[in-house]
Amino acid sequence: MYLSFLRTAYAAMLIPCAFVVQAQQDTLRKVDLKEVHIEGHRPHNVVERMKPVEGGIVAAGKKNEVVQVAGLDADLSTNNARQLFAKVPGISIWESEGSGIQMSVAARGLSPNRSWEFNVRQNGYDIAAEPFGYPEAYYAPPMEAVERIEIIRGSASLQFGPQFGGLLNYRLKRGVAGRKLAFETRQTAGSYGLFNAYNALGGTVGRTSYYAFWHHRSADGWRTNSRYVTNTGQVSLTHAFSKRFTLGLEYTRMDYSSQQPGGLTDAQLQADPQYSDRARNWFNAPWSVAAVTADMVLTERTRMSLKCFGTFAERNSVGFMKPITEPDTISSITRAYAPRQVDRDEYANAGAELRLHHSYKVLGKPSDLATGVRAFGGTTQRHLLGRGTTGSDLDLSLTDPVYGRELEYTTSNFAVFAENIFSVGRNLSVVPGVRFEHIASTAKGYLNTSSTGTLEPSERQRQVILFGTGLEYRTTASTNAYANFSTAYRPVLFSELTPAATTDIIDPNMKDANGYNMEAGYRGSLARYVTFDVGVFQLLYRDRIGTVLRDGVAYRTNIGTSQSQGVEAYVELDVLRLIAGERPASLRVHASVTWMDARYTSWNNPALVNDPVRGIEGKRVEYAPNNIERYGINYQRRGFSATVNLSRTGSVFTDAANTVEPNAAATVGRLAGYQVLDINGGHTFRNGLELRLGVNNVTDEAYATRRSGGYPGPGALPGNGRTFLVTLGARL
């Protein structure tokens, strides 16, 4: 009955839109919008802000950043996250995967694991494995193909739903207007066999704009046993049927294979972070994303956009996944290696998101309404604990045709959301918003092949209402103060719905995690030589999910609450302009810093609450450093630019009990803070040719950013040491 009501509501929302289109057809034929050219000055590689409403997305009153990738002196060949987000305060990064194939970032004390606390999108549509039950982003576009990266912090929950971190959206390049054919190429060679090739064609022919790229990256890897190869291609077509209606088609395909060197003990990390004794672990992820988009101008004040999208992908791994204390060696009895474990996931998701932006006046003051609906359905098939071969290559075949565990999950979702910008007086904007979510999920399969291992098919349905309000006050023409409070939630993940063993128990009343994001700050620019954004935040994360022991049985339930709070600050100064006014050269220095305190405020695990040594309340949240600092200096003159970046990150605990000394398997224990120095620069010549050089981790710092308990190999996972690269490019 409830789903029937939702379908009726969805149809009811579409009917007025159809009437608006019909009523405006004659008017639209008569309206002729004149083209306007606006020229302005944009400082080189300064972090920008989104417009109050952009593409039907409300950014007013929210902390947000826009990273213009083309303006960066950064290692794009490996998607180097610490350089890409050097001017975005508070972004924590896991640097355990040196290929750059996966982007693992987070903010405000959340886990960076494959960016799963962000709602990760490409051109505004989903690209993660399954945004509700398994929101890990195994795919990230090559940065050479990205025009800009948009980040909206946790207050984005009202428009994008299930996340605490906010929105992370990659906007890809489009065909060049005014040219029928444009060609771009970048070829990079670097240390340890790195070869990165990016080639793209784009342009506009009549009313049709197109862009297509092919990207290849391969290397032996900085660590032993860390070879990888990835190939990514995309084709996008956009046709303007009229000045009022545009239709677009996009298809992206990525396929990569990477050898996983596994973890290290802390002693191995200090002695030789390049060491590996896992030569048979491999990972593979074919990833396909398709989208159909439509943009409509219904009236001079009303715009509508529709995105229909689908993700069809796999996540495959094969390897010897025992603790690092168990060597992967040839048996003296069988004269062969032990069989490897094969795990495979298949994802099939489809969805549609309709957004409407309408500008109007209330009491003579301008207002903007951004509203929409979303429908989504996804299926995940999980095949685990397969008995693989005794070989050493990427071989996903089984020696026993039956997997040790077979699971199938489905999710259906319907959401309605709205935010409105109300102008109060000349300078104040108030932005209230609300979102309603209906989520239904099912699970079935078996945990093992015995009769007792079969899961009874189950279904969970829940409804969530999120709300929030933002404020923005324009203090001058180029500065404003902002504040926001928004509730957030995160659905119970598939892995949390499934017992790890037959005897485990899942709490039937387990709730989705919920909480809020709160922020306030002051941002803008002064006299065109200072850019800044300084603010404070608080994030409350209730009903965190975990496992406790009850009468000797593992019981998965909501186990506690954490709170993160701190200061996020970004300041950039053009020293030459400050001293001597307008100059043909610029010398810019920046600081992007975050000081944070992220701790557990309550913990419902009786096995630990009463333990005076391992009690959780007041302990620091895992992987939440107290400080994240990034400093840099950039010099630019005409086509030449060079940048030096220093990244400093504080120490982290890797478990909730804040264990200091590592265990023998190196799966828990404090990780020390570290700092990394990078230098990048180059010259773009007038004929479109480009030469760039870079050195990553100049001082060859040895450090680790995470520990693993399973895939990609138990133990501490180090970041890359010193590497060099050179890039030749051209735009024709």
Pick from 14-18, 152-156, 712-716: least confident:
14-18
pLDDT digits (tens, 9 = 90+) for 581-592: 777 888 999 999
In the predicted structure, residue 27 carries a pLDDT above the cut 60 = no
pLDDT value at position 495?
78
Question: What is the average pLDDT across 650-655?
Answer: 93
193: Cβ contacts below 8 Å, ≥ 6 apart: 218, 219, 220, 221
Residues 521 and 482: beta-carbon distance below 8 Å: yes
pTM for the model: 0.91
647 found inside a domain: yes
Helices (H) and strands (E) in the chain, counts: 7, 35
Residue, of 131 and 498, whose pLDDT is higher: 131
Residue, of 657 and 610, whose pLDDT is higher: 657
In the predicted structure, residue 69 carries a pLDDT above the cut 60 = yes
Question: What is the average pLDDT across 712-729?
Answer: 93
9 found inside a domain: yes
Nearest to 249 by CA among 212, 293, 208: 293
Count Cα atoms within 13 angstroms, Cβ side, for 176. Answer: 13
282 found inside a domain: no
33 found inside a domain: no
- Average pLDDT of the chain is 89
58/482 Cα distance (integer angstroms):
14
pLDDT value at position 154?
86
Reported as type and span, the H/E element at residue 9 is helix 2-30
Transcribe 658-721 into DSSP letters: ---S--TTSSSS-B--EEEEEEEEEEE-TTSEEEEEEEESTT----EEEEESBTB-SEEEEPP-
In the predicted structure, residue 104 carries a pLDDT above the cut 90 = yes
For residue 498, name the pLDDT band (cuts at 50, 70, 90): confident
Count Cα atoms within 13 angstroms, Cβ side, for 478. Answer: 10
In the predicted structure, residue 521 carries a pLDDT above the cut 90 = yes
Distance of CA 343 to the CA centre of its chain: 24
450 token code pair: 């015995």
Label residue 679 exposed, middle or buried (CB < 10 Å: 0-12, 13-18, 19+): middle
pLDDT value at position 42?
45
Question: What is the average pLDDT across 6-23?
Answer: 38
In the predicted structure, residue 227 carries a pLDDT above the cut 80 = yes
Label residue 112 exposed, middle or buried (CB < 10 Å: 0-12, 13-18, 19+): buried
For residue 683, name the pLDDT band (cuts at 50, 70, 90): very high
Reported as type and span, the H/E element at residue 235 is strand 228-240
pLDDT digits (tens, 9 = 90+) for 267-284: 999 999 999 999 999 999
The whole domain housing 206 covers: 2-24+63-166+173-271+291-401+410-731
32 found inside a domain: no
Residues 278 and 326: beta-carbon distance below 8 Å: no
588/609 Cα distance (integer angstroms):
50
Question: What is the average pLDDT across 695-721?
Answer: 92
pLDDT value at position 434?
97
Of all residues in the chain, the percent with pLDDT exceeding 70 is: 91
Residue 244 one-letter amino acid: R
pLDDT value at position 460?
86
Question: What is the average pLDDT across 310-335?
Answer: 91
pLDDT value at position 672?
96
46 found inside a domain: no
pLDDT digits (tens, 9 = 90+) for 545-574: 876 666 667 777 888 899 999 999 999 999
Residues 376 and 412: beta-carbon distance below 8 Å: yes
Residue, of 330 and 292, whose pLDDT is higher: 292
Bridge pairing between strands 505-506 and 553-574: parallel
What's the chain's Rg over C-alpha atoms?
26
For residue 501, name the pLDDT band (cuts at 50, 70, 90): low
For residue 180, name the pLDDT band (cuts at 50, 70, 90): very high
Neighbours of 714 (CB within 10 A): 24
Nearest to 677 by CA among 650, 640, 649, 712: 649
Nearest to 501 by CA among 448, 549, 548: 448
31 found inside a domain: no
In the predicted structure, residue 37 carries a pLDDT above the cut 50 = no
Q: Which long-range contacts (CB under 8 A, 24 or more apart) does 333-340 make?
A: 336/390, 337/280, 337/390, 337/391, 337/392, 338/390, 339/387, 339/388, 339/389, 339/390, 339/399, 340/280, 340/281, 340/388, 340/389, 340/390, 340/391
pLDDT value at position 179?
92
71/641 Cα distance (integer angstroms):
10
For residue 2, name the pLDDT band (cuts at 50, 70, 90): very low
643 found inside a domain: yes
Given 3-state DSSP classes, what are the helix, strand and coil percentages for the chain, each rounded to the nearest 5? 10, 55, 35
CATH number of the domain encompassing residue 185? 2.40.170.20
pLDDT value at position 257?
95
Indicate the number of domains in the chain: 1
547/430 Cα distance (integer angstroms):
42
pLDDT value at position 493?
84
Question: What is the average pLDDT across 437-455?
Answer: 87
pLDDT value at position 411?
95
Question: What is the average pLDDT across 301-329?
Answer: 94
Residues 705 and 96: beta-carbon distance below 8 Å: yes
304: Cβ contacts below 8 Å, ≥ 6 apart: 17, 295, 296, 298, 354, 355, 356, 357
642/188 Cα distance (integer angstroms):
17
In the predicted structure, residue 616 carries a pLDDT above the cut 80 = no
pLDDT value at position 607?
54
In the predicted structure, residue 680 carries a pLDDT above the cut 80 = yes
pLDDT value at position 502?
63
Neighbours of 430 (CB within 10 A): 17
**Residue matched to tokens 């970004």:** 570
Pick from 570-574, 603-607, 623-627: least confident:
603-607
In the predicted structure, residue 83 carries a pLDDT above the cut 50 = yes
Residue 486 one-letter amino acid: S
pLDDT value at position 615?
57
215 token code pair: 């990207």
12/260 Cα distance (integer angstroms):
51
For residue 38, name the pLDDT band (cuts at 50, 70, 90): very low
For residue 500, name the pLDDT band (cuts at 50, 70, 90): low
Pick from 21-30, 235-244, 517-526, 613-622: least confident:
21-30
662/467 Cα distance (integer angstroms):
42
DSSP 447: S
